[in-house]
C-alpha cells in the first residue's frame, strides 16, 4: 500500500463519479508524486468519513495497477493487481433509477455496500 505522506494532494471530489455517474456521499482524493519521468497516482475513496478503497498506479496508464479494499473489522485486505470490482447501486436495482450507493468486492468475495 502506498504511504500517502510521500504524495501531494492533487484534487478532491465530493459525490465522486463511478461508471460516469455521481455517487452521493462518495468522496475521492487523488494524490500524485513524481517518479523519474513518470507520475505515480493514488486514489483514496471514502463514504461517510470511512475509507473504502485505494487504487494506485501511474497517470499514463488507463487502469489502476493495484488496489486494496478496507476490511470490515478495520485495516485493509491484501492489495491485489488491477482495479477493484465496483458496482454502482441504484434504487430498486433498476438501471435508470437513482444512484443510492456503491458496492465494492473484497478479495475474498464479500461485497461492502455503502449508502443503503
Q: Write down the pLDDT at residue 73.
A: 81
Closest CA to 52 of 80, 36, 65, 71: 71
Compute mean pLDDT per 10 residues along the chain, 116 residues long, and list them.
Answer: 97 91 94 97 94 96 95 90 93 86 93 82
pTM of structure: 0.90
Nearest one of 114, 108, 116 to 46, comparing CA atoms: 114
Domain locations in the chain as residue ranges:
4-83
CA 95 to chain centre: 22
Residue 114 is predicted with a pLDDT of 86
* Residue from 38, 40, 42 nearest 28 by CA: 42
The CA distance from 4 to 53, in Å, is: 13
Predicted pLDDT of residue 64:
94
Whole-number pLDDT of residue 26: 94
Angle, alpha carbons 21-73-90 (nearest 5°) = 20
Amino acid at each position: 500500500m502506498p504511504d500517502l505522506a510521500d504524495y501531494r494532494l492533487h484534487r478532491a471530489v465530493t459525490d465522486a463519479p463511478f461508471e460516469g455517474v455521481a455517487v452521493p456521499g462518495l468522496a475521492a482524493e487523488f494524490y500524485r508524486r513524481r517518479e523519474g519521468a513518470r507520475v505515480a497516482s493514488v486514489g483514496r475513496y471514502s463514504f461517510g468519513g470511512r475509507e473504502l478503497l485505494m487504487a494506485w498506479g501511474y497517470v499514463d496508464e488507463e487502469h489502476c495497477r493495484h488496489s486494496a479494499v478496507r476490511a470490515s473489522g478495520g485495516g485493509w485486505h491484501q492489495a491485489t493487481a488491477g482495479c477493484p470490482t465496483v458496482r454502482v447501486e441504484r434504487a430498486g436495482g433498476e438501471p435508470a433509477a437513482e444512484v443510492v450507493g456503491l458496492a465494492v468486492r473484497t478479495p475474498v468475495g464479500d461485497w461492502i455496500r455503502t449508502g443503503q
